[in-house]
Amino acid sequence: MKAFNEVCLMVRKPALEVMSYLRQTNYSFPVNRYVLYGVLGSGKTNILAHLIHFCFKQNWMIVHVPWPSLYIRFPREIVPSTYKEGRVDLPYYAVAWLQNFKIQNANLLQSLQPRIKNKYTWSIREVSEEGSLLTDMIEHGINRVKFSSDCVGAVLKEIKLLASDGTFRVLVAVDGVNAFFRPTTKLKRENRSPVSSDDISLVWNFRKMLKTDWKNGAVITSVDTLASPSDQRESHLPRYLLEKQGFELMDPFIPVCVDIYNLKEIHSCLDYYIDRRWIQEIGRASCRERV
């Protein structure tokens, strides 16, 4: 994006396949779940970005978790949960996600002005009343960092309720979803004891979005070897990377294979680089010969 000062996506078969499924889906039934899989570097993240753009253009609400492995491997700030004893909050990542969600769905939040269906008490003086704007609760989580992780959980809960009531359709997109089910993390409590992924508030709340207890939406995820521990990267298949816990939660799902570039896609990519003068024109023939 920085090199060419623009964002371009190659239209590939896996993206078209999922788009076809989305167009034919009956959204009065529980959400369908899709899992993109393929070898490292095959283009799963770009396919997911294409599908996010497709749903965004259809006026869907986007719940995007770009790379949850960050929560597991690179913790920034760890504090005890204000909601449930034993869990830990990651306020830095919670605020970042709320800000991204607000920006990504700004037009829909402004036009529909969805209102929450439950009352949430944050402290003696801080309450989100039933019927108040969803954007107010998002702002509360951004401004009151202490409650940011709890606000993420409340926002996700309300999104499921609003989607099921037909207020809007929702796309849940997670890149490297197998990170949610890693048995170990790099997080430590104040007493230096390890924190499992089950005890991270953000992970717990985002996992709920993967369930089929709501409708009028879709869940599109990818599995990635880089999101698994370094000693568990022998296969790129969903059953292996999700492990028992993740596979049981996601099952049933629709697997979508993302292969490496075929010859036509390679030529298309090279032509784009030549058109943007990233590759010299004299190299067009030699490049084609090599591939």
Q: Which two three-digit tokens encode residue 118?
A: 């439950």
Determine the residue type at 238: P
pLDDT for position 104: 96
Start-end of H helices in the chain:
13-24, 44-57, 69-73, 91-104, 106-112, 134-143, 148-164, 201-208, 238-250, 263-275, 284-290
Distance CA(265)–CA(144), nearest Å, equals: 47
Give the pLDDT of residue 290: 57
Half-sphere exposure of 68 toward its Cβ, with a 13 Å CA cutoff? Answer: 28
Peptide bond into 252 cis (omega under 30): yes
162, exposed or middle or buried, with CB in 10 Å at 0-12, 13-18, 19+?
Answer: buried
Given a contact cutoff of 8 angstroms between Cβ atoms, the answer to whether 93 and 76 are in contact is: yes
Going residue by residue through the chain, which has 291 residues, state the pLDDT in tens, using 9 for 90 and above.
Answer: 567 788 888 999 999 999 999 999 999 999 999 999 999 999 999 999 999 999 999 999 999 999 999 998 888 888 888 888 888 999 999 999 999 999 999 999 999 999 999 999 998 899 999 999 999 999 999 999 999 999 999 999 999 999 999 999 999 999 999 999 988 788 888 778 888 888 899 999 999 999 999 999 999 999 999 999 888 899 999 999 999 999 999 999 999 999 999 999 999 988 888 888 888 766 555 555 555
Q: What is the pLDDT of residue 185?
A: 82
* Residues β-bridged to residue 167: none
